[in-house]
Structure 1
Amino acid sequence: MTVKNVDRESVRHGKITEQPLRQRPAYPTWAMKLVMAVTGLIFALYVIGHMVGNLKIYMPDHSGVAAINEYGVFLREMGTPLFPHEGLLWIIRAVLVVAVIAHIHGAITLASRSRQSRGKFRRTNLMGGLDSTATRSMLITGVVLLAFIIFHILDLTLGVQPVSPSEFTHGDVKGNMIATFSRWPVTIWYVIAMLALFLHLFHGIRLAASDLGITGKKWLQVVAFLAAVIPTVVVLGNIIMPLSIALGLVS
């Protein structure tokens, strides 16, 4: 063990040591948690905006052009002429990629430090219910969401087959969504991923608030409310779309 008032005789016999129990990490845990919180909030804002944009699939066509296709054009042209065509979109993508890498690195590092600190002891006697389920499954839901992000990019952004349907056409957002969600296995996979997103957001929002120093009773009540409402709205909005297409309600 490590002590302040050193007994030199005990040190000489190896009973105690002046050395720290563990080396100081290059990045302190509080900094890693801060990175996790900030990148997590970036993702939360992104999925909200992404859901709102995708809901345009239910809006009527404008001059023969699907509303969601107009939204796709807006994403590619936003920021012009200050930025080149798709310039701002690529900046947003770059920020998201960096955030994903930082979030994954933080998750792996914190999980490793947690295991080292607990040693042979493991977390037990959790209260049960949704809170405990979300807490226990953070790493699992994170892996599912990473797989979903990769699949989603190959499917509806790049149009890489066989992940993407053979009818994929760059720029035709509505047509591509209808083509991909007409495949029931893909629709089911999206629903599973959204359920994982619900659990991840539910616990992640609370965790981010804590790591950012939000501890007041009233603020914690607000956070608890948002942690329940935001994941519910986002997940329902994202599940309705593929199911509507798979059931033939949108064509």
Structure 2
Amino acid sequence: MTVNNVDREAIRHGKITEQPLRERPAYPTWAMKLVMAITGLIFAIYVLIHMVGNLKIFMPDHNGVPAIDEYGRWLREAGAPLLPEEGLLWIARIVLLVAVILHIHGAITLASRSKQSRGKFSRSNLMGGLDTTATRSMLITGVILLAFIIFHVLDLTMGVQPAAPSEFVHGEIQNNMIATFSRWPVTIFYIIAMLALFLHLFHGIKLAASDLGITGRKWMGVFAFLAAVVPAVVMIGNIVMPLSIAVGLVG
């Protein structure tokens, strides 16, 4: 039997009924959480690889060509001749776009269901510390990251002004990065986004373990380790790069 009145005083006085609190959802909550976990891990793997690629800006030129420009050309030509130029790159972009849409839809749906289930009672059993900060800020950091993704694509992928600098040239990755991160407001926004990414990944990777049905102590420990290390490495790597450009160490 289920509760007819979300007021917990009604529960204490035995006011119960067989009527459900809400209709059975078309997509069960466990399936939503599974999708959130899978898409979240896709993002975690992507941002780690993307960070490693960006750090090539610190590597020396090869035959007069910046290392990061060579890396960008390799990405565009990967899969050839089986796939057309940028074919594999577009496959990755489509997968990431679908994952973003599913992740956002899942986040909004689960937040709505959680609020409906709690009613007027807010969660009050959090103990504080980094775990609590990351948990409470998931929606906020998610919004910051969505805004950053949109800006980042307009800036360094599409070169759309005013997001991108006027010096933007397609294919010249190093020059484009130097031009965009020479603007302090962009660098500061980038750093804020990386701090949000750290909190989002920290909580998301830990949560993914339970959502994927992992309960063993060994594997829970592995996910706890990854939740601490991966976000920190990504955050530091992605902050060092724009800061180095902004203060003139790269350029």
Residues in 2 aligned to 1:127 and 1:235: alpha-carbon distance in whole angstroms = 25
| Greater mean deviation of Cα atoms: 15-24 or 71-80 | 15-24
Partner of 1:227: 227
The CA deviation at 1:2 is 4.7
What are the within-5 Å matches in structure 2 for residues 31-180 of structure 1?
31-180=31-180
Partner of 1:194: 194
Q: Provide Cα deviations, 1:165-214, integer angstroms capped at 9, x if missing partner.
A: 00000000000000000001100000000000000000000011110011
For structure 2, the 5+ residue unaligned runs are 4-14
Shift in Å at residue 20 of structure 1? 2.6
Superposition pairs of residues 3-42 of structure 1, within 5 angstroms: 17-42=17-42
The CA deviation string for residues 116-157 of structure 1, in whole angstroms up to 9 with x for no partner, is 000000001311010000000000000000000000000000
Residue 16 (structure 1) shift: 6.5
CA distance in 2, matches of 1:75, 1:26: 40
Question: Could you tell me the percent identity over the aligned residues?
Answer: 80
Cα distance change of structure 1 residues 224 and 18 upon mapping to structure 2, 3 Å threshold: closer
Provide TM-score, normalisation by structure 2.
0.93
Partner SS, residue 160 of structure 1: coil
Name the aligned partner's letter for residue 50 of structure 2.
H
Q: What corresponds to 2:240 in structure 1?
A: 240
Whole-angstrom distance in 1 between the partners of 2:21 and 2:158: 50
How far apart, CA to CA, are the structure 2 residues paired with 1:17 and 1:42? 43
Q: How many residues align?
A: 240
1:12 alignment partner in structure 2: none
- The 1-side partners of 2:41 and 2:104 are apart by 14
Which 4+ stretches in 1 moved above 2 angstroms? 15-21
Aligned partner letter, 1:245: I
SS in 2 for 1:222: helix
For residues 61 and 249 of structure 1, what CA distance do their matches in structure 2 show?
Answer: 16
Alpha-carbon distance in structure 1 between the residues aligned to 2:31 and 2:137: 23
Give the TM-score taking structure 1 as reference length.
0.93
Structure 2 distance, partners of 1:140, 1:122, is 17
Q: Unpaired segments of 5 or more residues in structure 1?
A: 4-14
Distance (Å, rounded) in 2 between the aligned partners of 1:241 and 1:65: 19
Deviation of 1:61 after TM superposition, in Å, equals 0.4
- Indicate the structure (1 or 2) with the bigger Cα radius of gyration: 1
Question: 1:17, 1:132 → 2: CA distance?
Answer: 35
Tell me how far 1:17 sits from its aligned partner: 5.0
Q: CA deviation at 1:21?
A: 2.8
The structure-2 alpha-carbon separation of the partners of 1:122 and 1:66, relative to structure 1 and needing over 3 Å to count, comes to same
Q: Give the equivalent residue in structure 2 for 1:7.
A: none
For the residues of structure 2 that align with 1:202 and 1:192, how far apart are their CA atoms? 16
Distance (whole Å) between structure 1 residues aligned to residue 122 and residue 172 of structure 2: 50
Q: Which residue of 1 aligns with 2:10?
A: none
